[in-house]
């Protein structure tokens, strides 16, 4: 007796991978979420650097060009893994914020919630770009700033889920800010692993946003900024070579790993969310 191939379940019974796709179990979803969280933390691994920031003169030049409502894009060579991750999406940026005037930047990522950061602190970076949305009038600017201040204290969107409206990642916060303007600015929405996401390129590439200024450290300065990491690699390799030449490479990476462990596990002071000063 031959099998009936017109049976809708035939191929799902006889051929692996065919038929209705199996939904991920709760365990699988938790594992995926855990992977995303671990990957995000690794991307934020801070490498110790020297002389890695824009000069004070360049930062002052940038501040002189800022206007309330401007978007700030930031790159920092202290986070080379985040830079590598950004390059996958053809970007040179790892963080963003909005200048709110009075030397204040509103962002999420500097802290694990939407907060106000001093502009001097935000501009401590290896590369900064100032972008200016084409606001139609002052009402648009005030709408943007009011929206951002109303979001102070909202948590970080650790799942990078664009559909969430009570938590944000940095570019999502800008996307939502511009979308709600009286004269709305709609950014392009990219697809990342099948999910909608706002990339830095979606902000840079918008016809409704213009580049005002950009400043960065030189490639040589960026190269020498990682002197502590080079020293750790050499020290670890040298010590291992004295014990056994075959351990030179593992020793080098052990030296670097030790440096990163101590530089990323310094005691941190606890900060209270003092949002009342920004409630008005």
Domains in the chain: boundaries:
56-221, 226-259
Tell me the angle at which helices 80-88 and 26-43 cross, rounded to the nearest 10 degrees: 120
Tell me the angle at which helices 138-150 and 170-179 cross, rounded to the nearest 10 degrees: 130
Tokens of 122: 């935000």
Angle at 219 between CA 119 and CA 261, to 5 degrees: 70
Question: What band does 68 get if pLDDT is binned at 50, 70 and 90?
Answer: very high
Rounded-to-integer distance, Cα 167 and Cα 169, Å? 7
Could you give the dihedral angle defined by the CA atoms of residues 146, 101, 114 and 173, in that order, rounded to the nearest 10 degrees?
70
* pTM of the full structure: 0.74
Tens digit of each residue's pLDDT (9 = 90 or more) over 117-148: 999 999 999 999 999 999 999 999 999 999 99
The per-residue pLDDT for 270 is 47
Tokens of 40: 């995000």
CATH topology of domain 56-221: endopeptidase fold (from Nostoc punctiforme) (3.90.1720)
Of 188 and 25, the one with more pLDDT: 188
Distance set, CA 204 to CA 57, 90, 96, 104, 235 (Å): 25, 11, 11, 22, 42
Q: How many Å is the Cα radius of gyration of the chain?
A: 24
Q: What is the mean pLDDT of the chain?
A: 81
Which residues pair with residue 196 across a beta bridge?
Answer: 191
The per-residue pLDDT for 265 is 77
Contact 216, 129 (CB under 8 A): no
Q: How many CB atoms neighbour CB 261 within 10 A?
A: 9
Tokens of 263: 């530089």
Percent of the chain with pLDDT over 90: 48
Question: What band does 2 get if pLDDT is binned at 50, 70 and 90?
Answer: very low
């Amino acid at each position: 007796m031959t099998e009936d191939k017109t049976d809708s379940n035939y191929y799902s019974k006889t051929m692996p991978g065919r038929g209705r796709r199996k939904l991920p179990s709760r365990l699988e979803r938790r594992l995926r979420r855990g992977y995303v969280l671990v990957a995000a933390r690794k991307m934020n691994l801070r490498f110790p650097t020297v002389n890695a920031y824009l000069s004070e003169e360049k930062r002052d030049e940038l501040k002189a060009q800022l206007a309330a409502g401007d978007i700030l894009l930031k790159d920092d060579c202290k986070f080379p893994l985040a830079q590598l991750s950004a390059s996958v999406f053809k970007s040179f940026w790892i963080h963003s914020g909005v200048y709110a005037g009075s030397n204040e930047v509103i962002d999420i990522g500097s802290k694990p919630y939407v907060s106000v950061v001093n502009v001097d602190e935000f501009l401590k970076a290896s590369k900064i770009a100032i972008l200016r949305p084409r606001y139609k009038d002052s009402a648009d600017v005030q709408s943007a700033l009011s929206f951002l201040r109303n979001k102070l204290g909202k948590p970080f969107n650790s799942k990078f889920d664009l559909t969430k409206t009570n938590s944000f990642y940095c570019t999502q916060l800008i996307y939502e800010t511009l979308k709600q303007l009286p004269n709305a600015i709609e950014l392009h929405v990219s697809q990342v692993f099948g999910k909608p996401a706002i990339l830095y390129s979606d902000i840079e590439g918008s016809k409704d946003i213009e580049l005002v200024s950009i400043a960065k450290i030189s490639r040589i300065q960026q190269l020498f900024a990682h002197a502590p990491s080079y020293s750790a690699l050499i020290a670890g390799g040298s010590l291992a070579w004295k014990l056994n030449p075959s351990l030179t490479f593992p020793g080098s990476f052990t030296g670097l790993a030790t440096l990163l462990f101590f530089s990323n596990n310094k005691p941190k002071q606890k900060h209270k969310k003092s949002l009342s000063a920004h409630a008005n």
